Structures are given as C-alpha cells and as structure tokens.
Amino acid sequence: MEKLWTEVDAMLEAHLAPPESVLIEGIERAKEAEMPAIAVTPLLGKLLMILAQSIGAKRILEIGTLAGFSTTWMARALPPDGKLISLEFEPKHAAVARENVDAAGVGDKIEILVGPALDLLPQVEGPFDLVFIDADKENNPHYYAWARKLTRSGSLILVDNVVRDGKIVDSTITDPHVQGVRDLLKAIREDQGVEATAIQMVSGKEYDGFALIRVN
Ligand code: SAH
Ligand code: DHB
Ligand code: MG
C-alpha cells in the first residue's frame, strides 16, 4: 500500500499543489543546514492555508517553525496587515526559516521568536485566530492549554502528528512523545469549550494525522 499512496500523493500534489521553485529552494537550504525533513507536505500546507483563508485569519500562532514551510503556507492566507508569530527552539532552524519566508515574499508578516516555546508563550499576546501546534510532542498538553488561553470564540487550533504510525494505541509504548499525544487527546475530551475532530493521513513514507479543534 505504501507504494500506492506515495503514487497517489504525487498525483494529488501534481494537480493541486504543484512544485514551486521558491519552496524547492527552501528545501535545499534546509538540507544544506542538515535539518530533518519533517515539514508539512504541500497538501497539508495548503490545508492550513485554506483554513486560515476560510476563517479570515489575521493573527496566527505557530509552535515549531523548522525551516518555515508551514509558516509560509499559513502566511500566504494573511491580509497585508496580518501577522504570524512562530516559536522555534533551535537558532539554526529559525535562521533558515527567516531566509525561507523572506524568499517566499511573506517575511514582513512573520515574527520568529527563538527559545523553548514554554518560556516564550507567557510573552506572546493573543488572541489568535489560528494556532498550529507542531513542536516537541511531549509538551502538547501544555501547548494546548496555552492555545486555549490565547484564542477566542471561533478560533481554530490544529495539532500535527497525533497518530504517529498508530503508536498511540499500543499500550506497551511509553515514549513521552506518544504519551504527549494521548494526554492531549484526554485534555481535548475533557474540554467543554471546544468541538474537535482528527484525521488520519498517509503521505509518502508516513502514517500520521492531525487534530482540528474549534473554540466555541
Ligand atoms: N511546522 C514545521 C515543522 C516543525 S518540526 C513545518 O511543518 O514546516 C518541529 C520543530 O519544533 C523543530 O524545528 C524543533 O526544533 C522545534 N522544537 C522542538 N522543541 C521545541 C520547543 N520546546 N520549543 C520550540 N520549538 C521546539
Ligand atoms: C516528526 C515531527 C513532526 O512535526 C512531523 O511532522 C513528523 C515527524 C518527528 O519528530 O519525527
Ligand atoms: Mg509535524
């Protein structure tokens, strides 16, 4: 099946999110800097962009910048006076992301703050229309709590990588990254103030998924 879904992904991408030189150059920069290739796929990046467009997002918060791919997709949805704040732990990642978002022509709308997200979040001023959580998975429950504090009624919160090859249902796996996802799901279940769903995804080599939460 893996071969088939890789082929299907390539066809969907070719039709719906065709290669862009500016993004390909960004991937090259990330490779040169020896950064992991774990960014959103173009199809998922586009979903982020379309969601942001659909809710008329003007302020977006991202946790986990890497090389700025999800950042760029979401920033493309912003109006001229819109703003995206992205939090990144690794200075090298933040530097490459800065080059990439500038090259993509969206840099003026993006502020990248460098440090552990949990140290930065108390300085961040809400409310945000969209929050994308995609950093160290063990802190997902904390990031979710912050996202709730920094959003308003109608805001969306999207959390990447909630399936992790299905590891979440294997009780013999106690890896904190996987446990972080389980604790996140529990926190959402106990949260009376939101509607939430999640989608499993296959893409290329990966079996993963995302959760989408709307604040009531
Ligand atoms: N959102 C990106 C991918 C992010 S990968 C995209 O789809 O294009 C996860 C990123 O989170 C990495 O760059 C990693 O350095 C960063 N990260 C890990 N722990 C962090 C922390 N405690 N605070 C902020 N960023 C963190
Ligand atoms: C990993 C992290 C991600 O954000 C992702 O989309 C895929 C993989 C990882 O840490 O392995
Ligand atoms: Mg991710």
SS3 144: helix
pLDDT at 204 (0 to 100): 74
pLDDT at 102 (0 to 100): 98
Cα–Cα distance, 17 to 41 (Å, whole number): 10
Q: What is the enclosing helix (H) or strand (E) of 131?
A: strand 128-133
Q: Ligand 2 centroid vs 168 CA: distance in angstroms? A: 14
pLDDT at 205 (0 to 100): 75
Please work out whether the CB of residue 167 comes within 6 Å of at least one atom of ligand 2: no
Question: Is the CB of residue 94 less than 8 Å from the CB of residue 36?
Answer: no
pLDDT at 1 (0 to 100): 81
Taking the CA of residue 206 as reference, the ligand 2 atom at the shortest distance is: 7
Ligand nearest to the CA of 64: 1
pLDDT at 52 (0 to 100): 99
SS3 97: helix
Q: Ligand 1 centroid vs 129 CA: distance in angstroms? A: 20
Nearest CA to ligand 1 atom 9: 135
Among the listed residues 115, 116, 187, 182, the one whose alpha carbon sits nearest the alpha carbon of residue 147: 187
Task: Give yes or no for a cis peptide into 141 (omega within 30° of 0).
Answer: no
Segments of the chain with pLDDT less than 50: none
Average predicted confidence (pLDDT) for the chain: 97
